[in-house]
């Protein structure tokens, strides 16, 4: 048997036109205790919500089509690829593993993510990486307004442009943008791009499989002026 055929044979195909979402997710969750197929292909997602959510096994899941809310949310270990667009909250609270979207994603992509890598080859809309806590996000296109709002740690790499109020109330996340930034949010400032930062961008781009010149990115982060109570501001409270 040729390698390609063997790989094909190992893929577990689930058609969401005939299988319920609950059944699919239960089968994927069962892999935590009972070993099963390591490569899954999900067809006809038709914009359904919570597809391949809460995975906790080292498997690969390919989804053919557009998905709805919270796809691959809370993912651990697994690699989930969406061959289409994703709606609100793709890879929300990602713990580890990798989530990759061929198309565009809606708002709050990678929200509150604690680890792992989210790759978006198209654009992400508003609030991308909101409250990110260790996730790395690489966007091949642009991100919308209020991206990286209250971002705590991790990296957001944007190959295109960023919308208004980038990094509002940011903590220690690193934001790298190659294109223009419509405006910076409160306490977010441009910072020097050192060799270590260029190396970090290059590493993330390589991991994402996106070709871009790391040296063309600019870095943004916290001015750390919102961190501490200032006695001068006492009158404002």
Tell me the torsion sign for CA atoms 225, 228, 233, 237.
Answer: positive
- In the chain, where does DSSP find H-type helix? 3-10, 21-30, 195-208
- Output 124 or 155, the one with its CB closest to another protein: 124
Which one of 41, 48, 100, 120 is in contact with another protein (CB under 8 A)? 48
Task: Copy the structure tokens of residue 102.
Answer: 């061929």
Contact yes or no for 77/54 (Cβ under 8 A): no
Rounded CA-CA distance 184/176 in Å is: 13
SS3 159: coil
Q: Can residue 88 be called a binding residue for another protein (CB under 8 A)?
A: yes
Stretch that binds another protein, among 51-59, 65-73, 90-98, 221-229 (CB under 8 A): 65-73
Burial label, 112 (beta-carbon count in 10 A; 0-12, 13-18, 19+): buried
d(CA 157, CA 160) in angstroms, rounded, equals 9
Kindly indicate which of the ranges 29-37, 61-69, 128-136, 185-193 contains the residues binding another protein, using the contact rule CB under 8 A: 61-69
Phi-psi region of 84 (alpha: psi -120 to 50; beta: other; left: phi over 0): left
Q: Of the candidates 68, 110, 167, 185, which one interacts with another protein according to CB under 8 A?
A: 68
Part of the chain binding another protein (CB under 8 A), chosen from 103-111, 150-158, 174-182, 226-234: 103-111
String of contacts with another protein for each residue 193-232, x by CB under 8 A: ----------------------------------------
Q: Select from 93, 104, 147, 222 the one that contacts another protein (CB under 8 A).
A: 104
Nearest-approach distance from CB 107 to another protein, in angstroms: 7
* Residues engaged in binding another protein (CB under 8 A): 46-48, 65-66, 68-69, 85, 87-88, 104, 106-107, 125-126, 144-145
């Amino acid at each position: 048997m040729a390698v390609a055929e063997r790989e094909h044979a190992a893929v577990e195909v689930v058609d969401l036109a005939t299988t319920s979402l609950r059944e699919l997710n239960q089968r994927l969750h069962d892999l935590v205790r009972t070993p099963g197929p390591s490569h899954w292909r999900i067809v006809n997602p038709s914009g359904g919500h919570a597809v391949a959510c809460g995975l906790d096994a080292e498997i690969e899941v390919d989804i053919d089509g557009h998905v709805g809310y919270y796809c691959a949310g809370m993912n651990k270990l697994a690699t989930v690829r969406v061959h289409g667009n994703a709606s609100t909250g793709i890879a929300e609270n990602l713990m580890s593993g990798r989530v990759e979207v061929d198309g565009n994603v809606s708002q709050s992509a990678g929200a509150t993510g604690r680890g792992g890598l989210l790759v978006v080859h198209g654009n992400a809309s508003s609030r991308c990486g909101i409250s990110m806590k260790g996730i790395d996000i690489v966007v091949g296109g642009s991100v919308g307004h209020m991206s990286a709002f209250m971002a705590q740690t991790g990296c957001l790499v944007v190959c295109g442009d960023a919308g208004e109020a980038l990094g509002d109330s940011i903590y220690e996340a690193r934001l790298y943008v190659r294109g223009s930034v419509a405006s910076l949010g409160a306490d977010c400032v441009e910072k020097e791009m050192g060799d270590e930062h260029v190396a970090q961008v290059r590493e993330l781009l390589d991991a994402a499989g996106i070709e871009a010149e790391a040296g063309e990115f600019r870095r943004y982060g916290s001015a750390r002026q919102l961190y501490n109570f200032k006695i001068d501001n006492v009158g404002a409270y």
